[in-house]
Amino acid sequence: MDVRDLDTLLLVGSAVLILAVLAVRLSVFAGLPSLLMYLGLGLVLGSSGLGIEFDDPDLALNFGLAALILILAEGGITTNWSHVRPAIGLGLLLALLGSVVSVLVVASAAHYLLGLEWQLAVLLAAVLTPTDAAAVFSVLRTVPLRHRVSGTLEAESGLNDAPIVVLVIAISAGDFAERGVGSFIGLIVFQLVAGAVVGLAIGWLGGTLLRRVALPASGLYPLVVLAFAVLAYGSAAAVGASGFAAVYLAAVVLGNTELPHRTATRSFVEGIGWLAQIGLFVMLGLLASPDEFAWVHLWTGLAAGGILTFVARPLSVAVCAVWFGIGWREQLFLGWAGLRGAVPIILATIPLAAEVEGADDLFNIVFVAVVIYTLAQAAPLHWLAGWCRVLTDVRELEVEASTLDRLSADLLQIGVAPGSRLAGVEVGELRLPAGASVALVVRGDHTFVPLPTARIVVHDELLVVTPRAVRDTVERRLRAVARDGRLAGWGA
C-alpha cells in the first residue's frame, strides 16, 4: 500500500463511518436493528453494488474475531453485575446445555428434512446456535427489561461463543470424529474453566492496580481498562483456554470495580464497541455476494432459521428454565429474544477459510437466515416484552467518580434520570453518612450550593463529596433512594 492507497482508504473509511453513524439514527427511527443497516451498507459497497472486491475469508475471519473481542469487552464493561448475578446460572446453562439441545435439533432437521450432508448439517446448526453479543447488547438495552431477563440474555451471549467456536473448528478440521465425544466435552470444559480463571484473575489484578495508582490523565483510564480486557483474551489463548470467556469475565470485573472516571470509561468502550460493530458488519456485507444467492440458499436459510427460532430455541430455553421455576411468559420472551447477528456469519467463515466442501453454500444460507430472522425478531421485541410482562419502570442511577487524592476523598457526579425517585427528595432527606455532602447542584445552565431543604428535580446533576472510607455506603444510599424514594432504608 502506497501513500495514494492510504489516502483513498482514509477517504472511503471516514465516509463509510459517518454514514454508518447516521444509520444508527435511521435504524432507531425505523425500528430496525442497526446491524442490518451496516450489512446493507457493505452490500451496497461490495461486488454486487459499487464493485469493491473483498473475497478473503481468512482475513475476514481474523478481523471478525478481533472485532468480536472488542464487542465482548464492551459488553462486559457496561454490564451491571448486580443484574447479571441472579441470572448467571440460567445464562450459563443456556450457553452450554441450551446450545447442545439447539445443535442437535437443528442438525437433525437440516439432515433429514433439508437433505444436507451430516457435516454441513452440524456446521449449519452450530454456527446458527449462539446468540450474538453485539445484537443483544445494542438492541436489548434499549428495552427496559427486568434484571433477571436482561442478565440472562447478556450472560448467555457473553459465554456461548466459546464452546461453539471449539465445535466449529473441530468439525471444519475433521477432528471431531477422531477426538471422540468424551474428549471433546473435556476440551470444552477445560477451555471454559481455564478461560474463566484467567479472566477473573486479570480483571481483579487490573481493578486492584487502577484503584491504587493515580494516572496523570483521565483519558488514560479507559485505555488501560480496555487493554486489561484484551490482555485477558491473549493470556487465555496463550495457555489453550477460551479467550472469549476470559475477555468477557475480565471486562465484567473491571466494569464493576469502583474505578475513577468509570462513566467516561464506559462511554469510551461503547464508542469502541460501536466502531467494532460498524467495521464488522460492513466487512461481512462486503464478503457476501447476493448475485450468487440461489433459490436453494433462500429457501434453506428461511427453513433453517425457522426451525431454530420456532422449535430449537424455545425447546432449549424450556429445558434449561425448568430448573429455575421460570414462567411460560418469560420463557417465551427468552426464546424470542435470542438474537443472531455477526457471530453466526463470523463462524461461517471458519469452514470457508478451511475450504470445507459446500462452505460457500453454508455461508450464503447463514447470511440469509441471520438477515431475515434478526429483522423478524427485533421488530416486535418491545411489544412482546410488554405482553410477556418482563418490562420494568426502574431507572438506574448513573454515578461518575473522580479522585481527590490530597483529601483521601472522591467526588461523585450523580445524574437524576427521568423515572428516578431521587426527584422530589430534599437534600437533607438523603441522610448521607457523616462527612459526605452534596456540594453543588447543576440545574440546566445554573449551579448552586444547596440548602438541606433544596428539592432535587429531574435532570439535576449532583456533585457529592465523600470520604473514601464511606464511598460505598454513600453510593448504596443514593441508589436506594433512586429506587425506593425518600423513605428507603428508614429505620434500618
In order of start, what are the domains of the chain with their CATH numbers?
32-387 (1.20.1530.20), 398-484 (3.30.70.1450)
The conformation of residue 160, written as its DSSP 8-state character, comes to: S
205: DSSP letter: H
Provide, for the chain, the percentages of residues in helix, strand and coil under a 3-state DSSP scheme, each rounded to the nearest 5: 70, 5, 25
Task: Say yes or no to pLDDT of 407 above 50.
Answer: yes
Question: Could you tell me if 194 and 241 are in contact, meaning their C-beta atoms sit under 8 angstroms apart?
Answer: yes
* 446-448 sheet: strands from edge to edge: 398-404, 409-415, 461-467, 437-443, 446-448
**Residue found under cell 448486580:** 82
Helix (H, G, I), strand (E, B) or coil at 441: strand
Question: Contact at 8 Å (CB) between 239 and 198?
Answer: yes
Could you tell me if 137 and 78 are in contact, meaning their C-beta atoms sit under 8 angstroms apart? yes
What angle (nearest 5°) sits at the alpha carbon of residue 401, between those of residues 399 and 406? 155
The pLDDT tens digits for 48-62 are 677 777 777 788 888
The whole-number pLDDT of residue 412 equals 85
Q: Which residues contact 183 (CB under 8 A, 6 or more apart)?
A: none
Scan for cell 473475497, then name that residue.
Answer: 55
Output the nine-digit C-alpha cell for 468: 473514601
Joined grid coordinates for residue 280: 464488522
Return the top range by mean pLDDT from 235-239, 409-413, 417-421: 235-239
Task: Say what the pLDDT of residue 16 is.
Answer: 78
pLDDT higher than threshold 90 for residue 5:
no
Spatial separation of the C-alpha atoms in residues 433 and 102, rounded to whole Å: 51
Per-residue pLDDT at 93 exceeds 70: yes
Residue 328 corresponds to which amino acid? W
207 pLDDT exceeds 70?
yes
- Asked if the model's pLDDT at residue 230 lies above 90, the reply is yes
- The pLDDT of residue 176 is 62
Contact 399, 159 (CB under 8 A): no
Write down the pTM of the prediction. Answer: 0.74
Q: CB neighbours of 173 closer than 8 A, spacing ≥ 6?
A: 354
C-alpha cell at 256: 464493576
